[in-house]
Amino acid sequence: MLKDEYKIYEDKMKKSIDSVAADFASVRAGRANAAVLDRISVDYYGTPTPIQQIASIASPDPRQLLIQPWDAGAVKLIEKAILNSELGITPQNDGKAIRLTFPQLTEERRKELVKQIRKYAEGGKVAIRNIRRDAMETFKKKQKASEITEDDLKIAEKDLQKLTDDMCKELDALLEKKEKELMEV
C-alpha cells in the first residue's frame, strides 16, 4: 500500500535531479555546447522566445557554435540577447549568422564553474530533502488519522530515508562527472 505512495515522491525527487542535470548542461565546459543557449530568450516580436525556436544551431568545430536565424531580422536580436546574458562570450555577427567562439578555460574560471555546479547540486539535495520532509508530514498525518499504523510509519520513515540517500548519491555521481569534465578540458 505504501509503495504506491512512495512512487509519487520518487518521481518528484527524480524531477529535482533532472533539473540539476539541466543546470549542469547550461554550464559551459570549454567545448561548444548548444545547451548553453537553452536559458537565453530573444525578444522576438514582443515575445520572449528561446533561440532554438528561431534559429538553427550548429557546431562547425569543437570550440565554436554557429547560429543561423531563419529570419534575417532576428540576427541583431539574438546578438543582443547573448550579450545581455551571463554567458561571457562576445558574439561575432556577419549579417546572416552569429558565431560564438568558446575560449580555452583558465584555471581560475574552472574553479568558479566548479563552485557554481556545487551550488546547483546542493540546491538539488535541499529540494530532495524537502520532498522527504513533506512525505513524512503526510505519513504522520495519516498515522494521526489512524489510516496507517505506527509500524507502517516507521517503515515509511526508513524507506523514505533510503530513497533520499539513493537520490543524493545519484546527484553526487552527476556532480563528480561534471567536475571531471570541467577540470580535464
Give yes or no for residue 34 having a pLDDT over 60: yes
CB 98 within 8 A of CB 77: no
Q: Which grid cell sits at 84?
A: 545581455
Q: What is the pTM assigned to this prediction?
A: 0.70
**For the segment 62-107, what is each residue's pLDDT rounded down to a tens digit?**
778 888 888 888 888 888 888 888 777 788 888 888 888 877 777 8
**For the segment 126-172, what is each residue's pLDDT rounded down to a tens digit?**
999 999 999 999 889 988 888 888 888 898 899 999 999 999 999 99
Question: Can you give the pLDDT at residue 30?
Answer: 62
Rounded Cα–Cα distance for residues 123 and 35 (Å): 20
Give yes or no for residue 29 having a pLDDT over 70: no
Q: How far is CA 164 from the centre of its chain?
A: 19
Domains of the chain by range and CATH? Answer: 2-25+106-184 (1.10.132.20), 34-101 (3.30.1360.40)
